[in-house]
Amino acid sequence: MNDLLDRPVQRQPIDVLREVFGYDSFRGQQAEIIDHVIAGNDALVLMPTGGGKSLCYQVPALCRHGTAIVVSPLIALMKDQVDALNQLGVKAAFINSTLSPDAAREIETRAVDGDIDLLYVAPERFATDRFLNLLDRISISLFAIDEAHCVSQWGHDFRPEYRRLDLLPTRFSHVPRIALTATADTPTRKDIAENLHLTDAQCFITGFDRPNITYRIETKGNSKQRLLSFLNREHPEDAGIVYCLSRRKTEDVAQWLTDNGRPALPYHAGLTQETRQLHQDRFLREDGMIICATVAFGMGIDKPNVRFVAHLNLPKSMEAYYQETGRAGRDGLPANAWMNYDLSDIVSIRSMVASSDAPEAQKRIESRKLDALVGLAETTKCRRQVILSYFGEDQHQPCGNCDTCLEPVETWDATDASRKALSAVYRTGQRFGPAHVIEVLMGRKTEKIRQNGHDDLSVYAIGKDIAQPQWRSVFRQLLAMGYLQVDVEGHGGVYLTEESRPVLRGEKVVEMRMDPGESKRAMTRRLRDFDTEFENEDDRDLWERLRTMRRELATSQNVPPYVIFSD
């Protein structure tokens, strides 16, 4: 006698796809995954944002008997999905904190009566006695765990409530489980599989490549002006997203774009719920709307014709960069991922990592995720290759359309310059920011140099042969390569790492990318700004918060945070 739960399939997947969802054919591995789940097997699906993960559990939910339970982390996302499904005539509902007790009871009754095909639930609701009792009374077709990286500390969005899902395999051992995420780095993947007991499940990793997205990363200054020229040149009427690090900057950039004739709205967690909803709705509805946002924006936003994603700061990890840029071009038409970043981004993200109250092991992981992204920003190779190999796809050829492919990066032998830079950092006491050290190298006569007696040092003026912009590029790359680290307690002072020793001793050759030229005036202004960057109007609130965090950290721990970075 067969297991009662392996009853025959009601409908064929392809019919469901066409009749319910109105699509012609499955994409990539969707059909395979769907067949696998319908047959009652477990699956771990790693598919990039926009790849079409939802159908991988929605179609099986309509093919198998019973109600599919979908665990989903964001309430807004849940409502959108359920609304969309209802419009297609699918019996879907959600249970979360926004429902009144009466409304929740009504949904529960419908579920027990078998009148719901997909029931979405928030993770914190899931493990409640009330919900588990409900599950005991309904016939369950499958469990789908969306955004499954939330189960992992190594993921970028850890949710402790996801840990309770470990009760699924024991309590509902006969029900297939499908976990889905766009985050595929190895530690996260392993963690998801272990926590959700999916170590024996089939893992589907489908193409992370987004061939229609062109990647460009530049490091030149006045990012707002450059953003505007980029938009006016290449996207004069398009909708897109501009990511910034601080809340204030999102508002500032939105205002600046508006002043310059581009409709733009800010979005960050500091705005009221109504404002955020309004701005999101306008972005989805209006043509050519630009949203200037912090990382708070994006999860679950389904706008196919986002033509560009711009970053005015470095995101905090390769995953974040991939997810955020992945919101461009979901319709498959050409789209741009454009980033303008600077040395100070590395400093500020390192500081944020260091001053968070996360455990040290996690900080180290985060630090490495940032390193991977800085490596991408500073690479001389094809950007696409670097991204895909990070996600475990090593077989790709240079793409031929990212900036490094179109304009191959020239490299130069920076061994001597690196030795000079590192010596100067060392001789000045490893507590000054790059801007000051560069002035020492160049033999400038500033007040700060005189006060500290740095004009008496042997390193004074040994770097006159190299122009200021190039020194700045050298320091950025030394940071990217891990030969220098930022001392977050010392407000951005840099110090040497263990790895820098062979370089200092002249035992190691250092190749660096040659940055395209930049106007001298712009460089000078940017350099001058570096020491005062922490005071910049743009980021003042951010830095205020950082300082507070740092103060708290300093009083609560006796280990200086920079130790974290010298593992």
Q: Please name which of 161, 140, 115 lies closest in space to residue 65, comparing C-alpha atoms.
A: 140
Residue nearest to Mg ion (CB): 53
Spatial separation of the C-alpha atoms in residues 316 and 309, rounded to whole Å: 16
Shortest approach of ligand ADP to residue 47 CB, angstroms? 5
3-state secondary structure of 242: strand
369 counts as binding ligand ADP under rule CB under 6 A = no
Question: Would residue 332 be called left, alpha or beta, if left means φ above 0 and alpha means ψ between -120 and 50 degrees?
Answer: left
Region from 51-59, 345-353, 386-394, 501-509 binding ligand ADP, contact rule CB under 6 A: 51-59
350 counts as binding ligand ADP under rule CB under 6 A = no
Region from 26-34, 281-289, 511-519, 531-539 binding ligand ADP, contact rule CB under 6 A: 26-34
Shortest approach of ligand ADP to residue 490 CB, angstroms? 41
Phi, psi (5° rounding) for residue 296? -60, -20
* Residue 240 interacting entry, from ligand ADP, Mg ion, none, C-beta within 5 to 8 Å by type: none
Shortest approach of ligand ADP to residue 189 CB, angstroms? 16
**Cα distances (angstroms) measured from residue 529 to each of 177, 344, 524, 547:** 53, 10, 8, 19
3-state secondary structure of 513: strand
Spatial separation of the C-alpha atoms in residues 548 and 536, rounded to whole Å: 17
* Binding residues among 48-87 for Mg ion as defined by CB under 5 A: 53
Spatial separation of the C-alpha atoms in residues 251 and 288, rounded to whole Å: 18
Q: Considering Cα of 560, then 562, then 565, then 567, what sign does the dihedral take? A: negative
* Residue 357 interacting entry, from ligand ADP, Mg ion, none, C-beta within 5 to 8 Å by type: none
7 counts as binding ligand ADP under rule CB under 6 A = no
CB atoms within 10 A of CB 124: 16
For ligand ADP, how many residues bind (rule: CB under 6 A)? 15
Nearest CB to ligand ADP, comparing residues 53 and 420? 53
47 counts as binding ligand ADP under rule CB under 6 A = yes
54 counts as binding ligand ADP under rule CB under 6 A = yes
Residues 6 or more apart from 2 whose CB is under 8 A from it? none
DSSP H/E element including 432: none
Parallel/antiparallel/unpaired status of strands 213-218 and 290-293: unpaired
430, exposed or middle or buried, with CB in 10 Å at 0-12, 13-18, 19+?
A: middle
302 counts as binding ligand ADP under rule CB under 6 A = yes
* Residue 259 interacting entry, from Mg ion, ligand ADP, none, C-beta within 5 to 8 Å by type: none
Shortest approach of ligand ADP to residue 434 CB, angstroms? 39
Region from 23-31, 91-99, 161-169, 359-367 binding ligand ADP, contact rule CB under 6 A: 23-31
Nearest CB to ligand ADP, comparing residues 280 and 500? 280
18 counts as binding ligand ADP under rule CB under 6 A = no
* Binding residues among 319-338 for ligand ADP as defined by CB under 6 A: 330
49 counts as binding ligand ADP under rule CB under 6 A = yes
Residue nearest to ligand ADP (CB): 52
Q: Please name which of 545, 522, 529 lies closest in space to residue 229, comparing C-alpha atoms.
A: 522
* Binding residues among 35-54 for Mg ion as defined by CB under 5 A: 53
State which of residues 13, 51, 266, 469 lies at the interface with ligand ADP (CB under 6 A). 51
- Six-digit token pair at 148? 């499954």
Applying CB under 6 A, the residues found at the interface with ligand ADP are 23, 26-27, 30, 47, 49-55, 302, 304, 330
Applying CB under 5 A, the residues found at the interface with Mg ion are 53
